[in-house]
């Protein structure tokens, strides 16, 4: 009888230890920050706005973006053709140097691969301008 109770108690302890280990692992895994494998990332907000930039921080409640770009559509009044251009934030009146986004409004974060059109446009805009180009 004592042998049976000891076995049941041992099995109970093993089951509890296993459940606690799995719960701890899943909690740790769920709170681990994702690996940021590229210099730039696309951040899509719940509003539909998309921003591209360097993720400086993934805090529990906020995403901090540096070197932020966004796409702006322009319509040619003569041809009615729409073109999209990449615009760097920071030229606005308040001259922002970063964006702090609430994670509640972030729908997804994706890497911008170096061979993508967005990465090429960012590299083009990030090149230092020659004095002749700066005057234009």
pLDDT at residue 111 in the model? 94
Structure tokens at 64: 């901090």
Q: Is the pLDDT of residue 136 over 60?
A: no
pLDDT of 67: 93
- What pLDDT does residue 50 have? 95
Of the candidates 14, 21, 19, 20, the residue with the CA atom closest to the CA atom of residue 6:
14
pLDDT confidence band for 23 (50 / 70 / 90): confident
pLDDT digits (tens, 9 = 90+) for 80-110: 898 888 999 988 888 888 999 999 999 999 9
User: Is residue 41's pLDDT more than 80?
Assistant: yes
Q: What single string gives the DSSP state of each residue in 36-52? A: --SSEEEEEETTS-EEE
Q: What is the mean pLDDT of the chain?
A: 86
pTM for the predicted model, two decimal places = 0.68
Per DSSP, the residues of the chain read -HHHHHHHHHHHHHHHHHHHHHHHHHHHHHHSPPP--SSEEEEEETTS-EEEEEEEEE-SSEEEEEEEEEEEEEE-TTT--EEEEEEETT-STT--SEEEEEGGGEEEEEEE-TTSHHHHHHHHHHSPPPHHHHH-
Residue 60: band (very low, low, confident or very high) from pLDDT cuts 50, 70, 90: confident
Q: Which residue has the higher pLDDT, 34 or 22?
A: 22
What is the rounded CA–CA span in Å between residue 51 and residue 47? 12
In the chain, what are the domain boundaries? 1-32, 40-127
Q: Which CATH class is domain 40-127?
A: mainly beta
Say if residue 134's pLDDT is above 60. no
């Amino acid at each position: 009888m004592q042998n049976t109770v000891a076995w049941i108690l041992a099995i109970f302890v093993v089951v509890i230890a296993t459940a606690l280990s799995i719960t701890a692992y899943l909690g740790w895994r769920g709170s681990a920050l994702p690996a940021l494998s590229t210099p730039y990332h696309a951040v899509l907000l719940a509003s539909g706005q998309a921003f591209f930039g360097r993720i400086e921080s993934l805090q529990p409640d906020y995403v901090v973006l540096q070197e932020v770009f966004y796409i702006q559509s322009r319509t040619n009044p003569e041809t009615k053709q729409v073109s999209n251009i990449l615009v760097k934030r920071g030229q606005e009146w308040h001259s922002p140097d970063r964006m702090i986004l609430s994670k509640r409004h972030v729908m997804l974060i994706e890497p911008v691969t170096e061979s993508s059109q967005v990465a090429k446009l960012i590299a083009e805009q990030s090149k230092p301008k020659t004095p002749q180009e700066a005057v234009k």
